[in-house]
């Protein structure tokens, strides 16, 4: 039995326990972040802008009230007409601002099926050079021609046919243009 007790005493000697007096670590109590500061500055700027706008609106209201009083003193009957004019002008200005906000950065393109024949020919002629040319079928009164659009004048369209020959077709004869493979 004495041997077992010896093993227990030796095994506990190698276990390291931290001293509680050493554990006085200082942790981070404050932080600073550029983003946090920038957000605060942006919020402050926006608040200042709003305040300035409100002040300007108040000044405009005061000026308008003074003008109304002057007009009423001079022309008592025309005051209602002036108010109506101002309301109409305000509504028009608001409508213009809304239209400006609704415009997107990109102009919406029509689908190929919605385009007219002239628009289709211009689209195929100005097709991006990085992409392979799109073969198309040009339907005329008498025939259907397969090829690539390579040029367009005021009266004629030049097509490069599948057998590498070039053909001119009058714009008046073209009834429809279809893309092949898309």
Does residue 9 lie in a domain region?
A: no
Answer yes or no: do 88 and 139 share one domain: no
Range of the domain at 134: 114-179
Cα–Cα distances in angstroms (integers) from residue 80 to residues 29, 71, 76, 77, 83, in the given order: 65, 10, 9, 7, 5
CB within 8 Å of 124: residues ≥ 6 apart:
134, 136, 148, 149, 177, 179
- pLDDT score at 51: 92
The continuous run of DSSP H or E covering 53 comes out as: helix 34-74
Position 113 confidence tier, pLDDT thresholds 50, 70, 90 = confident
Residue 144 in any domain: the answer is yes
Q: Report residue 151 CA to chain centroid gap.
A: 34
**Looking at the domain assignment, is residue 65 inside a domain?**
yes
Q: pLDDT per residue over 54-92, tens digit each?
A: 899 899 989 888 887 877 776 655 556 677 777 777 777
* Residue among 47, 50, 83 at smallest CA distance from 67: 83
Q: Per the structure, how many domains does the chain have?
A: 2
Q: Looking at the DSSP assignment, which residues form a beta bridge with residue 111?
A: none
145, 146, 149, 154 alpha-carbon torsion, rounded to 10°: 10
Does residue 66 share a domain with residue 118? no
Cα–Cα dist 158/116, whole Å:
18
Stretch 154-177: mean pLDDT: 92
Q: How confident is the model at residue 74, as a pLDDT?
A: 67
Domain boundary among 68, 97, 126: 97
- Exposure string (b/e) for 34-54, b if CB count within 10 Å is 16 or more? eeeeeeeeeeeeeeeeeeeee
- What pLDDT score does 128 carry? 86
33 in a structural domain: no
Residue 73: inside a domain, yes or no?
yes
For the segment 28-39, what is each residue's pLDDT rounded down to a tens digit?
Answer: 766 667 777 888
- Residues 93, 130, single domain; the answer is no
Is position 26 within any domain? no
- Using the predicted structure, report yes or no on whether residue 95 has a pLDDT greater than 70: no
Same domain for 120 and 82? no
Mean pLDDT across the chain: 79
Q: What is the pTM of this model?
A: 0.41
């Amino acid at each position: 039995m004495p041997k077992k007790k010896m093993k227990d005493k030796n095994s506990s000697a190698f276990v390291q326990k931290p001293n509680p007096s050493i554990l006085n670590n200082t942790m981070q109590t404050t932080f600073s972040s550029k983003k946090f500061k920038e957000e605060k500055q942006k919020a402050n700027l926006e608040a200042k802008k709003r305040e300035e706008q409100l002040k300007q609106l108040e000044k405009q209201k005061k000026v308008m009230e003074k003008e109304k009083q002057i007009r009423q003193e001079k022309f008592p009957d025309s005051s209602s007409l002036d108010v109506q004019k101002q309301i109409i002008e305000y509504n028009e200005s608001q409508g213009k601002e809304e239209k400006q906000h609704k415009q997107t950065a990109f102009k919406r393109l029509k689908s190929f099926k919605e385009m007219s024949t002239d628009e289709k020919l211009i689209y195929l002629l100005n097709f991006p050079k990085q992409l392979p040319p799109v073969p198309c079928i040009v339907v005329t009164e008498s025939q259907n021609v397969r090829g690539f659009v390579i040029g367009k004048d005021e009266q004629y369209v030049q097509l490069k046919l599948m057998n590498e020959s070039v053909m001119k077709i009058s714009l008046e004869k073209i009834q429809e243009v279809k893309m092949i493979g898309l």
